[in-house]
Amino acid sequence: MPQFMDVHHGMKGITADQLKEAHEADLAVEKDEGVHFERAWADPDSGNVYCLSEAPSAEAVKRVHERTGHPADEIHQVPLSIW
Amino acid sequence: MPQFMDVHHGMKGITADQLKEAHEADLAVEKDEGVHFERAWADPDSGNVYCLSEAPSAEAVKRVHERTGHPADEIHQVPLSIW
């Protein structure tokens, strides 16, 4: 399944609880779209949040984030990865 | 140790081999700066590359990428993460 990195801007001051709450909201509806959000990282200073997911398409990722009230500003398929 | 997400722009058309080569170049010198690059993801279409690292500072991440010839365009400390 393709992997995606999506980015949210403007989340300055986000707390650990807010990140967890947003992630759990995504997990609660992701199956409807065949998406799985694997990890998320947040920088409260710049307000950037990065979410790594597996999904059938960027549109599916977009729909999950929209439904849970935090639309992504960028969604990039990342066919290349190293770990 | 703090975690960082850094972003490179302008890597359109990057291949799996080029990503691996760049990552291995970073791994070869990272210890000098106390950095460890854990993972990297690339989107050849947009040219964005994301690197996740553990490092003592953003400056240390910056120096490793500069030494290996692919300076980062953004470096964000990500004190919050979920997985």
Domains delineated in chain A: 3-77 (3.30.70.3090)
Q: Between chain A and chain B, how many beta carbons pairs sit less than 8 Å apart?
A: 81
The stretch A1-13 carries a mean pLDDT of 98
At B83, the pLDDT band (50, 70, 90 cuts) reads confident
At A83, the pLDDT band (50, 70, 90 cuts) reads confident
Beta bridge partners of A41: A50, B81
The tens digit of pLDDT for each residue in B3-19 reads: 999 999 999 999 999 99
Distance from CA of A74 to the nearest CA of B (A): 11
* Pairing between β-strand A36-43 and β-strand B80-82 as defined by DSSP bridges: antiparallel
Cβ-defined contact of B19 to A83 (cutoff 8 Å): no
Q: What is d(CA B16, CA B18) in angstroms, rounded to the nearest whole number?
A: 6
Q: Are B63 and B4 in contact (CB under 8 A)?
A: no
B20 in reach of chain A (CB within 8 A)? yes
B15 in reach of chain A (CB within 8 A)? yes
Cβ-defined contact of A81 to B52 (cutoff 8 Å): no
Share above pLDDT 90 across residues of chain A, in percent, rounded to a whole number: 99
Which has the closest alpha carbon to A36: A59, A66, A78, A64?
A64
The tens digit of pLDDT for each residue in B28-75 reads: 999 999 999 999 999 999 999 999 999 999 999 999 999 999 999 999
At A44, the pLDDT band (50, 70, 90 cuts) reads very high
Give ∠ CA B70-B29-B33 in degrees, rounded to 5: 95
- Answer yes or no: is pLDDT of A6 > 90: yes
The stretch A19-47 carries a mean pLDDT of 98
